[in-house]
Amino acid sequence: MTKAHDIQGVSIKGTIMQLKVDGKVYEIDITKESERLAKASPEQRTHFEVSLAGYGIHWTDIDEDLSIDGLIGAKHFCPLIKEKV
């Protein structure tokens, strides 16, 4: 399986998510990324699953999904379209 990203670590303390992706560390205020995460309890925020293919993170308790690309501001080249998407 080809991975979109190599997600090496995800941790959440309060409203800050520390995300290590493709060897780089990002700190993201998740309440600015999602209204559902802003309203979620600390327990709900820390209960998440990272996709095996490296595409995103899913919070089951609040039915929220965020893409890694969106969180880190990445864009990928799609070989079928021949332009950046």
Q: For position 74, what pLDDT does the model report? A: 80
Contacts made by residues 21-29, CB under 8 angstroms, sequence distance 24+: 21/54, 21/68, 21/72, 24/72, 26/71, 26/72, 28/71
Superfamily (CATH) of domain 7-84: Uncharacterised protein PF10387, DUF2442 (3.30.2020.40)
pLDDT digits (tens, 9 = 90+) for 2-41: 788 899 999 999 999 999 999 999 999 999 999 999 999 9
pLDDT band at 80 (very low <50, low <70, confident <90, very high): low
Give CA–CA dist 15/40, Å, rounded. 10
Q: For position 84, what pLDDT does the model report? A: 52
Is residue 1 scored above 70 in pLDDT? no
By CB atoms closer than 10 A (0-12, 13-18, 19+), residue 61 is middle
